[in-house]
A and B are shown apart, each in its own frame.
Chain A
Amino acid sequence: RKEVEQDPGPFNVPEGATVAFNCTYSNSASQSFFWYRQDCRKEPKLLMSVYSSGNEDGRFTAQLNRASQYISLLIRDSKLSDSATYLCVPRTGNQFYFGTGTSLTVIP
């Protein structure tokens, strides 16, 4: 079983739309959770950490359900610049587990 599973997409949405990504992780011992974004041919960059109570950063909202081992990311009012691959990343001990990512394209 994969450590992290994500719907690869692609998600093609118009500007201004709301889009949600989901992710499940297999290791119940995972302690920390993150969302990264990766632009084409670039390194992944941290988008936000995910806290148990859920957290928001501007147009982005992350949720964690430890019982279901499920993480989500909601993007409101999508911008063209949001086009990227979004990676769900649980951390267990010293190791970070990267999903294959969900591809998002925001269309004018």
Chain B
Amino acid sequence: SQTIHQWPATLVQPVGSPLSLECTVEGTSNPNLYWYRQAAGRGLQLLFYSVGIGQISSEVPQNLSASRPQDRQFILSSKKLLLSDSGFYLCAWSEGAGETQYFGPGTRLLVL
């Protein structure tokens, strides 16, 4: 069966510091991978998605970037965090057309 891991679970970082969040999927090959952010009391905002290694689509221009160095690894990064980057970061994966999407447990980020 497939599982998706995210770490860390929680993170408190100062403004201006860098960020690296990692997501890995097990039990599937060539998944579509996604990064979302959910601000407190708000809906999910798609940040990036990837259909293959090295292929990244950015949905929202901001100070975040994503990379997919391996088939089942998706990394979200920032060189300098802003206060507005605080939120709940969720990684998700899906398979082919029509298939549903499954989420990791998320990382709760607080930028102070």
Contacts and interface: CB of A to CB of B under 8 A. Distances in A.
Interface of A: 31-32, 34, 41-46, 49, 87, 89, 91, 93-96, 98-101
Given A44-B103, A91-B98, A99-B43, 16 more contacts: A31-B97, A42-B106, A43-B103, A43-B104, A44-B44, A44-B90, A46-B100, A46-B101, A46-B102, A87-B44, A94-B32, A94-B49, A94-B51, A95-B49, A96-B34, A100-B43
Interface of B: 32, 34, 36, 42-44, 46, 49, 51, 88, 90, 92, 94, 97-106, 108
Contacts of A43: 90, 103-106
A43 B42 CA distance: 13
Nearest to B106: A43
Given A43-B90, A94-B49, A100 B42 contact: yes
Contacts of B106: 42-43
Contacts of A34: 100-101
Contacts of A91: 98, 100-101
Q: Give the 3 A-B CB pairs with smallest separation, nearest first.
A: A100-B43, A43-B103, A98-B44
